[in-house]
Amino acid sequence: PAIRAATAGFKVPARMASFLGEGSPFPPTNEVRMLFSRADGETVQEGDLFRNPTYAHTLERVARQGPRALYEGEIAREIVATTHLPALPGTMTLKDLASYRASWTEPVCRPYRGYSVCVPPPPSSGVSLLQMLSILDRTDIGGRRPSDPQAWFLFAQASRLMYADRDRYVADPRFVPVPVDRMLEPAYVRLRAQLIGQHAGAAPLPGDLATPRGRDATAESAGTSHFVIVDAEGNVVSMTTTIESIFGSGRTVEGFVLNNQLTDFSFVPAEGGRPVANAVRGGKRPRSSMAPVIVLDHAGNFVAALGSPGGSAILEYNAKALVGLFAWRLSLKEAIELPNLIARGDTYSGETAKFSPALLAGLRDRGIELKPGHAENSGLHGVLRRADGTYEGAADSRREGVARSLAPRVQRP
What tens digit of pLDDT does each residue of 310-333 get? 999 999 999 999 999 999 999 999
What integer is the mean pLDDT of 272-277?
A: 92
Examine the pLDDT at 303 and tell me if it is beyond 80: yes
- Residues written for the chain: 413
State whether residue 284 is helix, strand or coil: coil
Return the domain boundaries, the chain: 2-99, 104-405
Examine the pLDDT at 410 and tell me if it is beyond 60: no
Q: Can you say whether the dihedral through the CA atoms of 271, 277, 280, 281 is positive or negative?
A: positive
Give tens-digit pLDDT for 199-250.
999 999 999 987 767 777 776 666 799 999 999 999 999 999 999 999 999 9
What whole-number distance in Å separates Cα of residue 78 and Cα of residue 22? 29
Examine the pLDDT at 84 and tell me if it is beyond 70: yes
Contacts of 313 (CB under 8 A, 6+ apart): 222, 289, 340, 342, 374, 375, 377, 378
What integer is the mean pLDDT of 117-143?
A: 98
Examine the pLDDT at 172 and tell me if it is beyond 70: yes
CATH code, 104-405: 3.60.20.40
Instruction: Give me the percent of the chain exceeding a pLDDT of 70.
Output: 96
What whole-number distance in Å separates Cα of residue 323 and Cα of residue 155? 9
Give tens-digit pLDDT for 183-200.
999 999 999 999 999 999
Query: Could you tell me the CA-to-CA distances from 370 to 208, 246, 346, 357, 364 in Å, in that order?
Result: 30, 26, 11, 11, 8
The better pLDDT of the pair 220, 32 is held by 32
Order of strands, edge to edge, in the sheet holding 391-395?
108-112, 115-119, 293-296, 302-307, 381-385, 391-395
Count the Cβ atoms, other than its own, within 10 Å of residue 251: 19
* Catalytic residue of the set 224, 240, 242, 252: 224
Burial of residue 359 (CB within 10 Å: 0-12, 13-18, 19+) is: buried
Element (H, E) at 325: none
What whole-number distance in Å separates Cα of residue 160 and Cα of residue 158? 5
State whether residue 7 is helix, strand or coil: helix
224 is an active site residue: yes
What integer is the mean pLDDT of 398-409?
A: 86
Amino acid letter, 90:
G
**Quick one: pLDDT at residue 22?**
82
Strands 252-253 and 236-242: unpaired
239 DSSP β-pair partners: 227
State whether residue 275 is helix, strand or coil: strand
Contacts of 64 (CB under 8 A, 6+ apart): none
Instruction: Give me the percent of the chain exceeding a pLDDT of 90.
Output: 89
* This model's pTM is above 0.85: yes
Give tens-digit pLDDT for 72-83.
999 999 999 999
What integer is the mean pLDDT of 119-135?
A: 98
Burial of residue 342 (CB within 10 Å: 0-12, 13-18, 19+) is: buried
Mean pLDDT taken over the chain? 94
Contacts of 67 (CB under 8 A, 6+ apart): none
